[in-house]
Amino acid sequence: MRVVISGINGFIGSRLRLAMQDKGWEVIPLSRHDFALDSELLAVKLNGADAVINLAGAPIAHRWNESYKKELRDSRIFTTRKIVEAMSIADLKPQIFISTSAVGIYNPESRHTELIFKLAGDFIGQLCRDWETEANNAASFVRTVIFRLGIVLAKDGGAFPRMLLPFRFGLGGKIGNGKQGFSWIHINDLIAAYIFAIENSRITGVFNLTSPEPCDNAAFTKILATLLHRPACFSVPVSALKLIYGEGAITISGGQKAIPERLINAGFQYKFLTIEGALRDILK
């Protein structure tokens, strides 16, 4: 199996590479230099790949201004468009293209499946819609999968270490009123889902890549504090986050509840179904 991955040095990409190499697969990185190439030259690098995975994108949890919002869009929209163009002209097209999106495409109300949902009308919601539109341009010539990611929980990467630090010092607490959705997935289940999609030809279309049991911020806070034997008496005001992150504070203070109905129906087996079980594994 020959797999080409953009964003391979990132939190998810680096773990995907190790897991796939453990299976004996050949993993080829796409670098920023590759995206500067003409589509014809990029097509040469993609030619003959069994799978192409696009993980490129500037970090969302950042202070936003108009310049950074443009970087968020360009790092997702441009790279996806470039990959799709290159695949379309490759002589030997890949068997599967996996692109990324986020549960931020949904509004913060109620629970969302891939078939029953309400879309968000904010910047992130529009960004995700445009991102998915670019990826879906590949669906006419390659099996295309779009994973809408929740918060990925891992001991040594992603958002969790930053969440964990104040709790270890007894300074943890819910954000705002704590009622916002918290759709999460353990890193091991995420990696397994990518491999599951590659190995199962019936997997196509949009999938929520989250645990079947989302919680809210208050429940996450309570369980994490209990497992650490620390108090969680504080409440982080949303106004304080806005001072640090500006408009980007919504990525921390907001949240959705997304259900991976299609992945469950496809037969994917989760190892971590509850937030308590996931946190126990990460903290052990």
**Domain annotation for the chain: domains and CATH numbers:** 2-152+186-210+257-270 (3.40.50.720)
Q: In the prediction, which pLDDT does 245 show? A: 78
Angstrom CA distances, 269 to 2, 177, 193, 210, stand at 24, 33, 9, 12
Select the more confidently predicted residue: 158 or 116.
116
Residue 118 pLDDT grade (very low, low, confident, very high; cuts 50, 70, 90): very high
Residue 189 pLDDT grade (very low, low, confident, very high; cuts 50, 70, 90): very high
Arithmetic mean of pLDDT, 17-40: 95
Residue 163 pLDDT grade (very low, low, confident, very high; cuts 50, 70, 90): confident
Residue 100 pLDDT grade (very low, low, confident, very high; cuts 50, 70, 90): very high
Q: In the prediction, which pLDDT does 248 show? A: 83
Report the greatest alpha carbon distance in the chain.
60
Arithmetic mean of pLDDT, 212-228: 95
Q: Does residue 274 carry a pLDDT above 80? A: yes
Q: Does residue 44 carry a pLDDT above 80? A: yes
Q: Which two tokens stand for residue 46?
A: 């993609």
Residue 51 pLDDT grade (very low, low, confident, very high; cuts 50, 70, 90): very high
Q: Does residue 244 carry a pLDDT above 80? A: no
Give 121: exposed, middle or buried? Use CB within 10 Å, 0-12, 13-18, 19+: exposed
Nearest alpha-carbon partner for 163 in 19, 70, 278: 278
Q: Among 140-144, 210-214, 229-233, which is the least confidently predicted range? A: 229-233
In whole angstroms, give the CA distance from residue 30 to residue 272: 31
Residue pointed to by tokens 């919504």: 250
Q: In the prediction, which pLDDT does 9 show? A: 93
pTM: 0.95
Mean pLDDT of the chain: 94
Residue pointed to by tokens 């429940």: 219
Q: In the prediction, which pLDDT does 15 show? A: 97
Q: In the prediction, which pLDDT does 282 show? A: 96
Q: Does residue 198 carry a pLDDT above 80? A: yes
Q: Does residue 182 carry a pLDDT above 90? A: yes
